[in-house]
Structure 1
Amino acid sequence: MRDAAGGVVAALRTSPAGRMLWRIVEGLVEIQVVDRSLALAAQIFTSVLPVIIATSVFSGWSAAADTIRDQFGFDTGTLELGDAAGSSDPSLAAFGVAGFLMVVLSGTSFARALGRVYGAAWQVPSMGPRDAWRWLATLLAVALAVGLVGQTRDLTHLAYVGRPLALIGEIVVWTLVWTLTPLLLTKDALTGRMLWGTGLLTAAGLTVVHVAGRAVLPRTAASARQHFGPLGLAFTSVSWLFVMSLVIVGAASMVGSLAADESLIGRFLRGPERNERAAEQL
């Protein structure tokens, strides 16, 4: 068995495509993709989701409920929310605005966790308190993108072209936000090609996961709620967020590994300037 494994490793390292694949696998192991994805999923659940809920103060509960149903697979109408969601009491509204600000400020832990992922993937320094606005901008950008992706489902009602347009819209939204996010959290340390490569790879992965989720999540969430109540919904949501986080962390790690490779893809991602610097250092 060891001889066979050694032969596979040797075969991978002797071909350009094999070396690139080996570098990607090494990068995923070094970044601890599972541990970081678990941590990021928890931060999304405790940071991004509360921001989406808090925005109902301004946009109305129906928009937030549609977003939660689209992203997490369960209908909030099945939960016992009381009259809070529909209340128009001015004191409640004022509390909602203050609560929204508190949720946003505390929710930057998600952006800090994502910044640590990018730091490990691309070997860039972590940001300090002086750059706190970048954390805030990242949190709001991701929360807004999640809502916009949910709104793209309205395009499916168009005859013939509705579903392709919705799919294209989702890919465009994810690409833009996951290109902007590493730009903010790495302080412009990456080349434009690495940023767009990360955005496109992350968007492709999240779109595939989201399409699969629309078929799987409603039944899974309904079964979990039936057996375990609200705790079942929470567990299902965090589990699905873990899958999405695997895509986010994995895409960053893959782009970092490809950019460090001497293949055509690596040289393209690094761009002319970085390739010239590398040549001068040799």
Structure 2
Amino acid sequence: MDVRARRERLVGTYRTRRDQVVDLVERIPVLGRLVSEFVRIEFIDRCMLIAAQGLLALIPTFVVLVAFFPHLMGSGVHQFADATGLGSTGDETIAGDVSIDQVRTQTGVIGIVITLLSATSFARAIQRMYERVWEVPHVGGVSGARRCFLWLLGWLASVQTVSGVLRLVSGPDGLVPVLARLGLQVLLVAAVWLVTSRVLLFGRVPWSHLVLGALVTSVLQVLYARSSGLVMQPYVEQNAEQFGTLGVILAISTWMIGFGAILVGSSLVGRVVSEDPTVGHILRSSEATARSGWALARRAVGRGAPR
């Protein structure tokens, strides 16, 4: 085998593919800006930060809240366990090391408040991500901490609300009912993240610019949760068998990284696409066409009505 010739072929193939990618980026302005924006916001660092804060701050908060408010938090935790693939194996592993009665005994009112305040680090990580994506100054201090704390409470309540609504509309397993429930879930989750982005950005970005990012976040998050419930189950069981509770935590951290990637990537795609002139022209043209069609339909109905 001629090693030198093989290396030259590999180098030639790499250069050809690189030139094709560069040409594609130059042909599609949105793609080129997306690449530069992913580099600017330090995409991987943002994903890791959200995942780390979610694991270190959010998970203990869920444990404490479930210990004191099992009826209120049960559905949300069950939904989280299904999404991450925690399942019965993860529950049994964690239950062997974490006693709910022990948590109640050793955690008082002050402990609950401290846990919730520490969980705001997760909200602050998401706030900084949105501010970095939209290039607005960071709002910190008492005002920022208060906003993050209130958002965290609202977000936890929204998780329970979405879970409760989906449980109420559960019914037959036909294709149409399943698609209807899936569509409802996407709309509800999109509304949650639309309000989230608006609140954590302190209203400095118009609603219309945030809609696309919230919708992309919702679609990807719903698909991610439903698919990871199947994919993560064997991974969690294998990790729990090898490493015990540590293995379950490692599996959850892996899931949280994907969750963070969805938040960061969707927000960035939403901004770049919503600000693109071509996309804006298409949206305005579509809106004008829809309005003219609606006006024609109303006139036609008016002419056909009996007098």
TM-score (norm 1): 0.81
Contact 2:155 2:192 in 1 (8 A): yes
Partner of residue 116 from structure 2, selected from 89, 97, 104:
104
Tell me whether 79-88 or 226-235 shows the greater mean CA deviation: 79-88
Partner of residue 43 from structure 2, selected from 29, 33, 39:
33
- Distance in 2 (CA, whole Å) between partners of 1:162 and 1:102 is 43
Contact 1:197 1:255 in 2 (8 A): yes
What's the offset of the Cα at 1:173?
2.9
1:88–1:117 CA distance, 2 compared to 1 (3 A): closer
**Partner in structure 1 of residue 277 of structure 2:** 262
Listed as ranges, the matches of 1:208-219 within 5 Å are 208-219=223-234
AA matched with 1:9: V
Listed as ranges, the matches of 1:1-282 within 5 Å are 1-2=14-15, 4-13=17-26, 15=27, 18-56=28-66, 57-60=68-71, 62-63=74-75, 65-74=77-86, 75=88, 76-81=91-96, 84-86=99-101, 92=105, 95-129=107-141, 130-151=143-164, 154=167, 158-159=171-172, 160=174, 163-265=178-280
Contact 1:155 1:166 in 2 (8 A): no
1:267–1:142 CA distance, 2 compared to 1 (3 A): farther
1:195–1:110 CA distance, 2 compared to 1 (3 A): same
Contact 1:31 1:120 in 2 (8 A): yes
Contact 1:205 1:247 in 2 (8 A): yes
Contact 2:41 2:132 in 1 (8 A): yes
Q: 1:39-70, CA deviations, whole angstroms, 9 ceiling, x for partnerless residues? A: 11111112222222222212347446524422
Q: 1:139-195, CA deviations, whole angstroms, 9 ceiling, x for partnerless residues? A: 223333444455566358522465335423431332122111111111111111122
Contact 1:28 1:254 in 2 (8 A): no
For residue 234 of structure 1, give the secondary structure of its aligned residue in structure 2.
helix
Contact 2:194 2:214 in 1 (8 A): yes
What's the offset of the Cα at 1:2?
3.6
Tell me whether 150-159 or 134-143 shows the greater mean CA deviation: 150-159
Contact 1:48 1:139 in 2 (8 A): no
For residue 100 of structure 2, give the secondary structure of its aligned residue in structure 1.
coil
1:137–1:24 CA distance, 2 compared to 1 (3 A): same
- The alignment yields a C-alpha RMSD, in angstroms, of 2.8
- Distance in 2 (CA, whole Å) between partners of 1:162 and 1:79 is 35
Structure 2 runs not aligned, ≥5 long: 1-13, 285-307
What's the offset of the Cα at 1:230?
0.8
**Could you tell me the percent identity over the aligned residues?**
23
- Distance in 2 (CA, whole Å) between partners of 1:42 and 1:266 is 40
Contact 2:84 2:252 in 1 (8 A): yes
1:97–1:59 CA distance, 2 compared to 1 (3 A): farther
State which structure, 1 or 2, has the greater radius of gyration over its C-alpha atoms. Answer: 2
Contact 2:61 2:116 in 1 (8 A): yes
For residue 79 of structure 1, give the secondary structure of its aligned residue in structure 2.
helix
For residue 277 of structure 2, give the secondary structure of its aligned residue in structure 1.
coil
- Distance in 1 (CA, whole Å) between partners of 2:251 and 2:98 is 26
- Distance in 1 (CA, whole Å) between partners of 2:222 and 2:80 is 16
Contact 1:155 1:162 in 2 (8 A): no
Tell me whether 67-76 or 30-39 shows the greater mean CA deviation: 67-76
AA matched with 2:220: G
What's the offset of the Cα at 1:264?
2.6
